[in-house]
Chain A
Amino acid sequence: MDKKTFLNELRNRLSFLPKDELERTIAYYSEMISDRIDTGMSEAQAVAAVGSIDEIVESVRAEGNYQSTKEEDKNYKTFINIMLVIGIIALYFALVWDIIISVSFAASTVICLIAAFATAITLGMPAFMIFAGISLILTAFFLITIPISSYIRFGIRRIKECIRR
C-alpha cells in the first residue's frame, strides 16, 4: 500500500476520534512512515513496517474512552432487538386497528432501518445514530397515533349509530 492510501484509510477508520486527536494521530504515523523512508526503505516497506491498520485502530481504541468494537456490536444488537419487539407490538396494534396505517408504518420503519445500516457502513456511527433515532421516533409516533385514530374512528361510528337510531 502507498502512504497516501494508508493514511486515508487510517483516517476513515479513526473517524470516531475528536478532530484534533485524529489529526495528531495521522501526523504521528505519517512522520513514522517518512522517517523509515529516509532510512532507505521503500514506501511500501515503510507502510508495512508501521503496522496494520487493524492493529493501530485497536491500540487507539484501547487507549481512549472510546467504545470498543465489542460494545458497538452490542449496540447494534440491542437496537435490532428493541426494533423487533416494538415492530411486533406495533404490528399487532396496526393489524387489529387499521391495515393502511400498519403498512405505512412498516414501510417507513424498514426504510429507516435500511438507511441506518447503509449509512453506518459508509458514514459510521453518527449517521447510524441519526437514522436509528428517526426510526425510533417514527415507531413512537405510530404507536401513539394508531390506537388514538382507531379510538376516534370507533367513537365516530358509535355516534353515527346513535344518530341513526
Chain B
Amino acid sequence: MDIQLKRGLIEICVLSLLSKSDSYGYALIRDVSNCVEISESTLYPILKRLEGANLLTVYTEEYNGRLRKYYTITDGGRKRLCEFPAEWREMTKIYSFIKENSEEVRNG
C-alpha cells in the first residue's frame, strides 16, 4: 500500500487499540500485524506523531526488572476516532469517483 495512506490508517489502528486498553510497543506491533503489516521502524514515527499531537500519552512502568513504556489514549485521541467514520465515508466517495474515471480501477 502507498506509504502515506498506510501511515494515516495505521495511526487510526493504533488509536483504536488504545481505546480498548493501554498497550506497549511490541503489543501494538503484534496486534496491528493481525490486520496490516507493520515494522518497528514504521511504528516509531507514528507513535511520536501521535504523542506530539496529544492523541496519546506515555507512562513508564516496571516489567520483568526493566522499564517499559506504556501508551494510553487521550480525549483528543478518542475525538480523532470519532472523526474517522466520516473520513471513511469520504474515502468511499473518492473511491467511487476514481472508479468512475479509471478503467484500470473498474477492472481491478
Contacts and interface: CB of A to CB of B under 8 A. Distances in A.
Interface in A46-66: 50-51, 55-56, 59-60, 62-63
Q: A interface, by DSSP: helix, strand, loop or mixed?
A: helix
A63 B45 CA distance: 7
B48 A32 contact: no
A21 to B, nearest CB: 9
B32 to A, nearest CB: 14
Interface string B40-62: 11101100100000000000000
Interface string A1-36: 000000000000000000000000101110110111
Interface in B25-46: 25-27, 29, 39-42, 44-45
B25 A59 contact: no
Nearest to A58: B41
A38 interface: yes
Nearest to B48: A63
A59 B42 contact: yes
A31 B69 contact: yes
Contact of A50 (B24, B40, B68): B40
Contacts of A50: 39-41
Contacts of B24: 31, 35
A59 B64 contact: no
Contact of A59 (B27, B29, B45): B45
A39 B27 CA distance: 11
Contacts of B48: 63
15 contacts: A29-B40, A31-B68, A32-B26, A32-B29, A34-B66, A35-B27, A38-B64, A50-B39, A50-B41, A55-B39, A55-B41, A59-B44, A59-B45, A60-B45, A62-B45
Interface of B: 24-27, 29, 39-42, 44-45, 48, 64, 66, 68-69
Interface of A: 25, 27-29, 31-32, 34-36, 38-39, 50-51, 55-56, 59-60, 62-63
